[in-house]
């Protein structure tokens, strides 16, 4: 039986029902949308538990829901990804103590407004543009993930799958701004947990010996390896990366990236914002859950006597393009092993995970674009406020189409890289410079726009040298061949594919100090006190 035929009308009914229910709830809870504050900050009236759940839902996304199980299942896959949780917790504490206080000292909409107060409008605009570049690069991966799941169960081309997901995200964002985004995220949070637990226990039920059988099979394959003490600079999931590099990346993502920072601005007070960011550390439990799903999935198909369905599983995976296979392990299991109705619910969770991240970035991109045309601290009149609301909705549509288009392009050039690795790689271009901008504003307000701009360019070039994206594209178009790529000091070619000799995650702390340092090399002229 064809895999797509296995996804029944009941399954599609469950998917459609959940999406319609989420849309209805978002509509009922949207509140008034009379001002920019209502649309982009939820009127600064949202309870901190809801904001915390929204941060978790956005962070998890389809990348964790699909990519993590696929990463563990794959050859040499294990739990070393969890090490990064150390850096994540450190970062949230730093953001909760220092960043939240700085943000709530002023009536602002974004971290870039804060930079504008300290360093001037030029730096605010530069930081905004850099955020938008990073948003397109990083969030397009999340669109790609959900599209991969949709492609498994439909005859639709990949491009159409992306456009469907993008359309839902645009509609949810337009409906009620950040208030709708956050409350629908809360629904996604509970669906993530339920879908992950259901998958785990269903798999365990199909394994001889249950939990102990799973531990035995997955343990023999070293799936539970947690610590990686390797000093290989090309390795990504190591303890050294977790405690040295990851805190910089996560401080930038939670404290300076508008995607997450915008949620803190939605809270009722500084204290509530701090509670929201600190308690969002509980999202690591969902990561652990999906790691277990990956290990259990491996045991399910690799027992001494594999189930009869293993042949079908292997056949369906083989039908996919090589670059899609690693991330399709979990979706294929869902469709082939779960009964109708339940598989529809799990797939709805995957869609919801992607959409919950996508609608958030659309709100953030729209708000920051609008801020480019308004001076920091400038208040809007009633008339201009209504015009800004109308413009913001058009911007949501425009950014939604742009993000979908880039996701299509990204899929054509990503090779066989797992989506988890791809997501972190795409963010590497901007997370360091963004944190460098903020630290310059926080500690050294004499840093200049030209210096910070030079720092960003140098940082971007450094990441470019440590990432294979450009070289893969040039290789695909015949501009460079393998021997020419191998001559690049930071690259080597293994089995016909470019590979960096130093993992791009090490660029996270390095680019922070490059950007900040360049800002200080060209300080602004100090205005003497009269």
pLDDT, tens digit (0-9, with 9 covering 90-100), for 205-216:
888 889 999 999
CB-CB contact of 504 with 466 (8 Å): yes
For 465-479, what is the mean pLDDT?
A: 76
More confident: 242 or 180: 242
The pTM score is 0.82
**If you ran DSSP here, which 8-state letter would residue 499 be given?**
E
DSSP 224-284: T--------TT-SS-HHIIIIIHHHHHHHHHHT-HHHHHHHHTBSSHHHHHHHHHHGGGGH
Listed as own residue / partner, the contacts of 471-474 with beta carbons closer than 8 Å and 24 or more positions apart are 471/498, 472/413, 472/415, 472/497, 472/498, 473/413
Answer yes or no: is pLDDT of 191 > 50: yes
Q: Could you read off the pLDDT of 412-439 as tens digits, one per residue?
A: 665 555 555 666 677 788 999 999 999 9
**If you ran DSSP here, which 8-state letter would residue 46 be given?**
B
Separation CA 47–CA 273 (nearest Å): 9
- Chain centre to alpha carbon of residue 470: 21
| Alpha-carbon distances, residue 378 vs 107, 109, 116, 269, 401 (angstroms) | 10, 11, 12, 22, 30
| Alpha-carbon distances, residue 222 vs 163, 225, 230 (angstroms) | 39, 6, 16
| Alpha-carbon distances, residue 417 vs 84, 297, 410, 421 (angstroms) | 19, 20, 11, 7
For 68-75, what is the mean pLDDT?
A: 87
Superfamily in which the 3-521 domain is placed by CATH: Sodium/glucose cotransporter (1.20.1730.10)
More confident: 197 or 147: 197
Average pLDDT, the chain: 81
More confident: 217 or 476: 217
pLDDT score, position 530? 32
Q: Which residue has the tokens 């029902």?
A: 17
Model confidence band, residue 460 (pLDDT cutoffs 50, 70, 90): very high
Domain ranges of the chain: 3-521
Answer yes or no: is pLDDT of 349 > 80: no
């Amino acid at each position: 039986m064809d895999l797509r035929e296995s996804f029944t009308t009941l399954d599609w009914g469950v998917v459609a029902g959940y999406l319609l229910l989420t849309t209805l709830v978002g509509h009922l809870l949207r509140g008034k949308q009379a001002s920019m504050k209502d649309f982009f900050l939820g009127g600064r009236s949202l309870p901190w538990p809801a904001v915390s759940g929204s941060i978790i839902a956005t962070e998890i996304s389809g990348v964790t829901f699909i990519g993590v199980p696929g990463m563990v299942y794959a050859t040499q896959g294990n739990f070393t990804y969890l090490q990064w949780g150390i850096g994540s917790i450190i970062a949230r504490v730093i953001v909760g103590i220092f960043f939240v206080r700085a943000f709530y000292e002023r009536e602002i909409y974004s971290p870039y407004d804060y930079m504008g107060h300290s360093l001037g409008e030029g730096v605010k605009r530069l930081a905004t543009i850099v955020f938008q570049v990073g948003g397109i690069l990083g969030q397009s991966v999340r669109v790609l993930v959900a599209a991969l799941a949709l492609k498994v169960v439909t005859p639709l081309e990949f491009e159409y799958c992306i456009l469907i997901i993008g359309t839902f995200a645009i509609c949810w964002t337009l409906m009620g701004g950040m208030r709708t985004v956050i409350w629908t995220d809360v629904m996604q949070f509970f669906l993530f947990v339920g879908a992950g637990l259901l998958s785990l226990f269903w798999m365990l039920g199909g394994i001889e010996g249950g939990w102990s059988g799973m531990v035995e099979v997955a343990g023999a394959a070293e799936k539970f390896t947690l610590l990686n003490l390797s000093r290989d600079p090309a390795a990504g999931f190591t303890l050294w990366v977790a405690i040295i590099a990851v805190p910089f990346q996560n401080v930038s993502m939670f404290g300076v990236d508008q995607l997450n920072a915008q949620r803190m601005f939605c809270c009722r007070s500084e204290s509530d914002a701090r509670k929201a960011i600190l308690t969002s550390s509980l999202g690591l439990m969902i990561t652990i859950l999906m790691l277990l799903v990956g290990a259990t999935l491996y045991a399910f198909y690799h027992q001494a006597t594999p189930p009869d369905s293993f042949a079908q599983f292997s056949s369906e995976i083989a039908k996919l393009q090589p670059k899609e296979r690693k991330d399709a392990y979990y979706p294929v299991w869902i469709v082939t092993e779960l009964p109708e109705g339940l598989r529809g619910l799990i797939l709805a969770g995957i869609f919801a995970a992607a959409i919950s991240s996508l609608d958030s970035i659309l709100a953030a991109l729209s708000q920051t674009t609008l801020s480019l045309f308004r001076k920091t601290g400038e208040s809007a009149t009633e008339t201009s406020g209504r015009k800004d609301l109308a413009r913001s909705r058009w911007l949501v549509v425009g950014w939604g189409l742009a993000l979908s288009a880039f996701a299509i392009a990204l899929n054509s050039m990503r090779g066989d890289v797992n989506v988890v690795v791809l997501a972190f790689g795409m963010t590497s271009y901007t997370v360091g410079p963004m944190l460098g901008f903020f630290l310059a504003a926080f500690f050294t307000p004499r840093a200049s726009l030209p210096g910070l701009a030079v720092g960003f360019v140098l940082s971007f070039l450094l990441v470019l040298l440590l990432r294979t994206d450009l070289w893969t594209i040039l290789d695909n178009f015949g501009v460079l061949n393998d021997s020419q790529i191998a001559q690049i000091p930071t690259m080597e070619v293994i089995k016909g594919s470019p590979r960096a000799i130093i993992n791009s995650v090490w660029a996270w702390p390095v680019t922070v100090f490059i950007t900040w340092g360049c800002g200080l090399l060209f300080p602004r002229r100090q205005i003497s006190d009269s």
